[in-house]
Amino acid sequence: MIKAKNICKSFTDLEVLSNVSFAVKQGEVISIIGPSGSGKSTLLRSLIGLEKINSGQLFIEGTQVKDDNKIAYRKMGMVFQGFNLFPHKTVLENLIEAPLVVNKEKKALAIKRAENLLKKVGLFDKKNSYPAQLSGGQKQRVAIARALAMKPDIMLFDEPTSSLDPELVGEVLTVIKDLADENITMLIVTHEMGFARDVSDRVFFMDQGKIISDTVPEKIFVNPESKRIQTFLTKILSQNDSSQ
């Protein structure tokens, strides 16, 4: 499904991804964890073409993605920490924008699917609201539905709950969990360790631009192999406790 080979990415003289390689199978759910600045966002952004990689190869469903082959990017949807909904469009308009403009779908059809997606994330009654009228958790659920409206095979989440008030985190994680059950391939950058452990088939631990551990959740959370990961987990778990 996704295959990355020796991906390198630098910002001027700062190397942010160094020789990252991994493979993700259809339907797998991957959590990406690691300290701040380790390159998690950059990795996701490189996958979907928001950042240009300096070297290495990237295959999506067997097709190599390049600047002149943007089609492969369309297999992916992305959800951002800051939602990035279009504020001048209603919830429904946010969902149908790309299906209409990019895929040239029939409007009635696009609306129908958008309404179904809104039902799925529990926001059908908000379809005519503007983003400014929604809570953070609702915004993020709309953002997820908007990405799904393009029927992606792969969903990328970059800290989807990090800018939410603690009491709103659950509703978003529930929606993502439902997606995981639907066999959609997902890469999720998150600081929610309990969620990562629950939902993922594998966990990538990133540090200084490398995936230093790629393993099943039990292994990383119950029995972390390296000191580095242990330290990180101890720190983040105590942070999560103190914030609750």
Partner 1 sequence: MFDYIVNVSGYILEGSLITFQLYLVTAVFSVGLGIAGALGKISKIPFLQAILSFYTWVFRGTPLLLQLFFAYYGLPVLGITLQPFPAAALTFIINYGAYFTEIFRGGIESIPEGQYEAAEVLGLNYRQTMSRIIIPQTVKRVLPATSNEAINLVKDSALVAVIGLGDLLRSAKVSVTRDFSIIPFIIAAIFYLVISSIIVTVFRKLEKKYSVYE
Ligand X SMILES: Nc1ncnc2c1ncn2[C@@H]1O[C@H](COP(=O)(O)OP(=O)(O)OP(=O)(O)O)[C@@H](O)[C@H]1O
Q: Can you give the binding site for partner 1, defined by CB under 8 A?
A: 48-50, 70, 73-74, 76-78, 80, 82, 84-89, 97-98, 101-103, 130-132, 146-147, 150
Q: Six-digit token pair at 32? A: 């990406």
Of 9-17, 138-146, 167-175, 192-200, the segment contacting ligand X by CB under 6 A is 9-17
Measured CA distances, 210 to 5, 41, 110, 159, 188 (Å): 12, 13, 40, 18, 16
For the beta carbon of residue 14, count every other beta carbon within 10 angstroms.
Answer: 9
In the bound state with Mg ion, the residue whose beta carbon lies nearer, of 121 and 205, is 205
Nearest 10 degrees: Cα torsion 84, 85, 88, 92: 170
Query: In the complex, what is the shortest distance from the CB of residue 30 to Mg ion, in angstroms, rounded to a whole number?
Result: 15
Residues 152-181 that bind ligand X (CB under 6 A): none
Q: Which residue has the tokens 């540090």?
A: 207
Query: In the complex, what is the shortest distance from the CB of residue 22 to ligand X, in angstroms, rounded to a whole number?
Result: 15
Query: In the complex, what is the shortest distance from the CB of residue 142 to partner 1, in angstroms, rounded to a whole number?
Result: 12
Query: In the complex, what is the shortest distance from the CB of residue 27 to ligand X, in angstroms, rounded to a whole number?
Result: 25
Per CB under 6 A, 39 contacts ligand X? yes
Q: Which residue has the tokens 């609750």?
A: 244
42 binds, among ligand X, partner 1, Mg ion, none (CB under 5 to 8 A by kind): ligand X
160 binds, among Mg ion, partner 1, ligand X, none (CB under 5 to 8 A by kind): none
Q: Select the residue interacting with Mg ion from 41, 138, 185, 200 (CB under 5 A).
A: 41
What is the C-alpha separation between 243 and 11, in angstroms, rounded? Answer: 33
Q: Select the residue interacting with ligand X from 30, 31, 41, 94 (CB under 6 A).
A: 41
What is the C-alpha separation between 106 and 70, in angstroms, rounded? Answer: 23
What is the C-alpha separation between 41 and 174, in angstroms, rounded? Answer: 22
By CB atoms closer than 10 A (0-12, 13-18, 19+), residue 131 is buried
Taking each helix axis as running N to C, give the angle between helix 136-148 and helix 166-181, from 0 to 180 degrees, rounded to the nearest 10: 20
What is the C-alpha separation between 127 and 67, in angstroms, rounded? Answer: 35
37 binds, among partner 1, ligand X, Mg ion, none (CB under 5 to 8 A by kind): ligand X
Q: Select the residue interacting with ligand X from 20, 30, 33, 42 (CB under 6 A).
A: 42
Residues that bind Mg ion (CB under 5 A): 41
Residues that bind ligand X (CB under 6 A): 11, 14, 16, 36-42
